[in-house]
Structure 1
Amino acid sequence: MKLWTLHLLALYLLFQSGLSQTVVKSLPGLPGDLPFYLESGYIGVGELEDVQLFYYFVKSERSPKDDPLVLWLTGGPGCSALSGLLYEIGPFTFDYEKSTRDRPILKLNQYSWTKVANIIFLDQPVGTGFSYANSWESYNLNDSVSASDSYEFLRKWLKLHPEFLSNPLYIAGDSYSGVIVPMVTLQVAKGNEAGLKPKMNLEGYLFGNPFTNDDSDINSRVAFAHLKGLISDELYESAGINCNRDYININESNVGCVDDLKVVTECLENIYTANILEPNCMPQAPKSTVVDTWDPSLINQDRSLLLLPTMEAPRAWCRDYNYLCCYIWASERAVQDVLHVREGTFEKWVRCNRSLSYAYTVTEVIDIHKELIKRGYRALIYSGDHDMIVPYVGTLAWIERLNQTISRDWEAWFVDEQVAGFGFDNNLITIVYYAIFLRSNPFHICNRQGSGTHGSRIQAQGMFSDD
């Protein structure tokens, strides 16, 4: 074999191995050098490392060697890590006042969790963001594959970054990652118990508005709507009796239940479910039956960019319009070059990939939570109090099934001497609810910052303390 052929083969194997890490010094749209450490890269997982998972890593701006290490898994499934990084907990976001349709501008995020933690933002499962596979078979996904790939990624990442092995480790995420986060956490725990290397300093896990199971999360939407005054007392009681409080397994021959849920659906169809206080500007997808309306598989229906504002016909501000900026920014070749994204590995960047071939094989993770509690791991669960996608009342319902003793009763917590939410401690589990304070905004083509789970934000301060 000729020497040049050997060189090409070596380059090909290196490319396929996923051993690709780049320190990013600056970003298009953000003036000057980055005031924090940002790394991006690929790590190969699975058989022959066929799956190449892309990640962003930001060091803590406080004390990287001492602060916790967090693996952040955005929900979906199929929503890019950039969604969490840009709109929720990352160190930079969009400056909507200065951005235009052609030129998104970035600014630093004063509420970033990277003020107090090292965070890995992972594009998972494969087919999400910039992650890709070399064979089509690897795109056949389910919950177990997603969790196993994320766990393998973390092991390999820590082998490449051994300086973080002693840092307290937390697995975190939001929305549908409420299924994946505890699965990955348990795999880390069992891996440590089995003596797998590297041993990880696992402390616990945390997530926001986490999807856990259909019974508590989907069914609780009716109770949530009633609590918030979106449906009447009479309709709530009638639907509860006629449907036996089961709004998922609907018998279409049960006329009373079907009729009640039709009215419930009509009451809620123009509500922005991610934050019921905000405008709903997206067109509603036609629903053929009541059963379709309450189908759990539609929990993370992404309607972004179905209808975008124009300068000629501005509409009221909507949170979904903010996502236009990330589509423009992440699709720029200059951005992809800085991040060292591999050309030809994906057709088009999307915030949430709804074309994944994904099987929802795990129906609930209550037993996994119980296993983690037995092992003594800490958990933090936080919920926006106006989120109807995964309502806090459903989260409360499955937490009660854990049968834990309350160690600190319901009480308010404060930010700047103002009540910001409420919460309680349930033995090793801390539950936090937080309020949303709205300001009126002028319309902009790329508008205000999205903030936190399903349109809410919780600050980093105190997230990893012993309080």
Structure 2
Amino acid sequence: MEPGRQLLGAPLLLLLAAFSSGLFLREPKEPKQAWGYVPVRSNASMFWWLYYADNPTKNFTELPLILWLQGGPGASGCGYGNFEEIGPLDADLKPRRTTWLQAGSVLFVDNPVGTGYSYVNDSSAYATDLCKVTSDMLVVLEKFFNSKTEFQTIPFYIFSESYGGKMAAAIALELHKAIEAKMIKCHFLGVALGDSWISPLDSVLSWGPYLYSTSYLDDKGLKEVTGAAKKILNAMNRKEYKLATMLWSSAEDIIEESTNGVNFYNILTPDSSSLTSTTSELVPFLKLFQRHVQYQHKDKLSDLMNGPVRKKLKIIPDHVKWGGQAQEVFEHMAEDFMKHAIDVVDDLLEANVNVTVYNGQLDLIVSTIGQEAWIRKLKWPKLKHFSDQKWQPLYACPKSKETAAFFKSYDNFAFYWILKAGHMVPADQGDMALKMVRMVTRQDH
């Protein structure tokens, strides 16, 4: 492992601020950080960025460590998750009021290889399935905990979003096995699957009913979307997974046309990722990448990551451009994209690993009713006990009278229904997301 570099000299915050003058009137306190590369294979390296917890009353050793996994596949946690959702600074380099560093240390990893600052040296090194993604991440975690021994006994959780949830489930299961085999030393306590691509088919089948119930489709539109979803179902039943991915792209085209461009990530927000042109036979995968990954590499963030951040980190190889290999990451995972991971969640529950599912009310791409559908398919013996529980309302803060979420749990399984949030829950409802993190990590009940 290339050693992470802790910030003991010029603060990153001030260095970054120098590139955007006038953002700060006084010097804010900067959280301690470290970062580095892990060569996971001879032709592939993964980048990680650690922020130590920044809490006014507790030392980082008294708070958990949270691994954040972004979606895509091909979207960067070190970039998007960090500066757009949960890190200490937003993309304007202003302090984020709802940063998760208040609740724990946060480890971002650009995953799979080729994502963000992570890179491959030849095309044969890209991951093509969940198995390779998982084995690479286990190398990172083993090296991290061996290097950062202060975190070996601190409670460790994996939080995720979108396709990152599918990866998180598989990584959590293999991490649990590695800990039991004494291959990795860490205090792993659970995984949280946010708006997660656990069952793509259940998500797709929910699109028509969800849009119809929210008046984004009429009867004719519902029929068209349902017909497109059935084509995907038939391809999945024939195990034609790459075809299913292509049909998925076609279904989204129908939705965009029928709804006048509804935002797949928050149905109440104007869509800034709609496509205006199509090209060539490669269009299904290119369109999917542009619609679901490229928007997370938008110009402002890309300029930040390839400019001030890159200069500060100092270890990014000259040939690596942040996000430069993202499209290849996505396309190499096309065969795996539509496969479900419901059985992985079942295995986690059976292994007594704590599993949390959370979902935004306004998310279309991974709608809440789609999440509920795959949960009903779990073979977990205690599922009926979970289902029989009455959900409880949650409030973002003690003084608030507005319901911010609903919550239900039984044994080692929990579900959070986050109101007024889309696909990116921490970005849409930062206060409630932070409260949820504290609840999942047993700091707030």
Question: TM-score w.r.t. structure 2 length?
Answer: 0.79
CA contact (8 A) 2:69 2:165 kept: no
2:112 aligned with 1:125, yes or no? yes
* Cα offset, 1:409, TM superposition: 1.5
Partners in 2 of 1:297 and 1:190 — Cα distance? 37
Q: Which has the higher contact order (CA 8 A, sep 6+)?
A: 1
Residue in structure 1 matching 2:300, options 325, 328, 334: 325
CA contact (8 A) 1:412 1:419 kept: yes
Larger Rg: 1 or 2? 1
CA contact (8 A) 1:385 1:436 kept: yes
Mind listing any 5+ residue stretches in structure 1 that lack a counterpart?
1-16, 95-104, 252-259, 306-319, 439-449
The equivalences for 1:27-426 within 5 A come to 27=13, 28-29=16-17, 31=24, 32=27, 34-47=29-42, 50-62=43-55, 63=58, 64-81=60-77, 82-94=79-91, 105-196=92-183, 198-233=184-219, 236=222, 246-249=230-233, 266-286=257-277, 298=288, 301-302=291-292, 323-332=298-307, 334-346=308-320, 348-350=321-323, 353-356=326-329, 357-359=331-333, 360-361=335-336, 363-403=339-379, 404=383, 405-406=385-386, 408-415=389-396, 416-426=400-410
| AA aligned opposite 1:78 | G
Partners in 1 of 2:167 and 2:72 — Cα distance? 11
Q: Deviations over 1:213-272 (max 9, x none)?
A: 2221122111211221211356536865x67x6252469xxxxxxxx9997553235111
Q: Tell me what 1:256 maps to.
A: none
CA contact (8 A) 1:274 1:387 kept: yes
Q: Tell me what 2:435 maps to.
A: 461
Q: Deviations over 1:374-425 (max 9, x none)?
A: 1211122111111111111111111111251226312321122311122322
CA contact (8 A) 1:89 1:112 kept: yes
Partners in 2 of 1:410 and 1:88 — Cα distance? 27
CA contact (8 A) 1:423 1:432 kept: yes
| AA aligned opposite 2:336 | T
CA contact (8 A) 1:22 1:340 kept: no
| AA aligned opposite 2:311 | D
* Cα offset, 1:160, TM superposition: 0.5
Partners in 2 of 1:376 and 1:451 — Cα distance? 28
Q: Which has the higher strand share?
A: 1
| AA aligned opposite 2:82 | L
2:414 aligned with 1:430, yes or no? yes
- Assess, with a 3 A threshold, how the Cα gap between structure 1 residues 372 and 140 changes in structure 2: closer, same or farther: closer
- Assess, with a 3 A threshold, how the Cα gap between structure 1 residues 300 and 195 changes in structure 2: closer, same or farther: farther
Partners in 1 of 2:129 and 2:292 — Cα distance? 19
Mean Cα deviation higher: 126-135 or 211-220: 126-135
* Cα offset, 1:335, TM superposition: 2.7
Partners in 1 of 2:273 and 2:145 — Cα distance? 42
Q: Deviations over 1:129-182 (max 9, x none)?
A: 111234443235432211111111011101011111111111121011121001
CA contact (8 A) 1:26 1:34 kept: no
Partners in 1 of 2:402 and 2:286 — Cα distance? 37
- Assess, with a 3 A threshold, how the Cα gap between structure 1 residues 121 and 414 changes in structure 2: closer, same or farther: same
Partners in 2 of 1:261 and 1:87 — Cα distance? 25
CA contact (8 A) 2:158 2:191 kept: yes
Q: Deviations over 1:106-139 (max 9, x none)?
A: 1111111110111100011111111123444323
| AA aligned opposite 1:71 | L
Q: Deviations over 1:403-450 (max 9, x none)?
A: 512263123211223111223225422111222289xxxxxxxxxxx9
- Assess, with a 3 A threshold, how the Cα gap between structure 1 residues 246 and 68 changes in structure 2: closer, same or farther: same
Q: Which has the higher helix share?
A: 2
Mind listing any 5+ residue stretches in structure 2 that lack a counterpart?
18-22, 236-250
Partners in 2 of 1:264 and 1:297 — Cα distance? 14
| AA aligned opposite 2:74 | G
- Assess, with a 3 A threshold, how the Cα gap between structure 1 residues 263 and 274 changes in structure 2: closer, same or farther: closer
Kindly report the root-mean-square deviation, in angstroms, between the aligned alpha carbons of the 2 structures.
3.4
Q: How many residues align?
A: 399
Question: TM-score w.r.t. structure 1 length?
Answer: 0.76
| AA aligned opposite 2:370 | G
SS of the residue corresponding to residue 127 of structure 1 reads coil
CA contact (8 A) 1:385 1:433 kept: yes
Partners in 2 of 1:43 and 1:159 — Cα distance? 12
- Assess, with a 3 A threshold, how the Cα gap between structure 1 residues 261 and 127 changes in structure 2: closer, same or farther: closer
CA contact (8 A) 2:169 2:193 kept: no
Partners in 1 of 2:427 and 2:234 — Cα distance? 27
CA contact (8 A) 1:19 1:44 kept: no
